[in-house]
Amino acid sequence: MPTATPAADPSAASEPTAAPLRVALVGYGPAGSFFHAPLIAATPGLVLDTIVTGSPERRAQAGAAYPGVSFAATADELWDRAGTLDLVVLASPNRTHVALATAALEAGLPVVVDKPLAGTAAEARSLAALADTRGLLLSVFQNRRWDSDFRTLQALLAARDLGEVQRFESRFERWRPQLKGGWRESGDPAEVGGLLYDLGSHLVDQALTLFGPARLVYAEGDVRRPGAATDDDSFIALTHAGGVRSHLWMSATTARLGPRFRVLGSTGGFVTYGLDPQEAALREGLRPGQDGTQWGAEPESAWGTAGTDDAPHTVPSLPGDYPAFYAGIETALREGTAPPVTALEAAAALDVIEAARRSARTGTTVSL
């Protein structure tokens, strides 16, 4: 987007302003309503043009939140008017991701897909190839790359404040002893449910982003809750090609939560507890830039600590920045640059998740 020019500059009157890119959002459940819609609407250069939902209740909610937005009952209605849109965002159930992304790309539309991109790495790479053939953007919403704690850890690693990292421990743990129901807890493989695909998609993506490709995968997957049909308590151990070991926990049955991150290096470690505040803020109806406060800022009480037990020190948290994802998408669409998350990166994470499922099933370590 052009940089704003001071009014005193005579060139300002003739400087063109690019029209906003028109976005269609497929799905207005929790992912669409709490994450994608507000972040799209808050991004300069993007406008939420159409929401696809067949639910009258969700249409009423969306219409109140985004006056002027259009609605469609099914995604098929978008393909006939693809020329009026610039981007399709898929916040629909996992089982629909591949078919809808394929249809959007074949209609000539760039696509953002909520994680996971697909149920298999082969499907993800097939979508990446289709997007490449059509010269279209295909990206995956891995918003946890812009968590406050993750950004803070990235900065520590870039400054080599921990020395050589030896082990990376990461957890997404919850205490949900009762089933909530829905497709995410379904045992039907077509639903692409379970924690490995849900929380594991974030944990694996973060580990690969920080420490590069995985060489070995070992995993344990359990079904703990009465009536559960898919994994709700899982663990993955990765050996990265560079030598770092990542230990990743995802659980809905953790009565006492562990640290979000514990990172151990040759000269010091980093430990932080709790979750990034952005999801809670979005669920409460807060929006980036809404009240003039810094979006994604953590209170000092939530900051992590680094160093050693003999000499620990508090590390101020960088603010979380989910808006950066769609800002990166807007730039990529206008300038033809790479999106903030690529489909091939998502495929690499799916390689790990598929290997983890094999490992948990056979009790063996899987080589990639």
Task: Give the DSSP per-residue string, 115-159.
Answer: SPS-SSHHHHHHHHHHHHHHT--EEEE-GGGG-HHHHHHHHHHHT
Q: What is the mean pLDDT of residues 346-359?
A: 98
Q: Which of 13-27, 93-107, 231-245, 281-295 has the lowest mean pLDDT?
A: 13-27
Q: Which CATH architecture has domain 144-322+348-367?
A: 2-Layer Sandwich (3.30)
How confident is the model at residue 228, as a pLDDT?
Answer: 87
pLDDT for 15 beyond 70: no
pTM of the model: 0.93
Q: Which CATH class is domain 18-141?
A: alpha beta
* 3-class DSSP string for 188-245: CHHHCCCCCCCHHHHHHHHHHHHHCCEEEEEEEEECCCCCCCCCCEEEEEEEECCCCE
Give tens-digit pLDDT for 238-284.
999 999 999 999 999 999 999 999 999 999 999 999 999 999 999 99
Domain ranges of the chain: 18-141, 144-322+348-367
Confidence of residue 12 (pLDDT cuts 50, 70, 90): very low
Residues forming beta bridges with residue 141, ordered by sequence position? 114
Cis ω before 277 (30° cut-off from 0): no
What is the C-alpha separation between 127 and 173, in angstroms, rounded?
Answer: 31
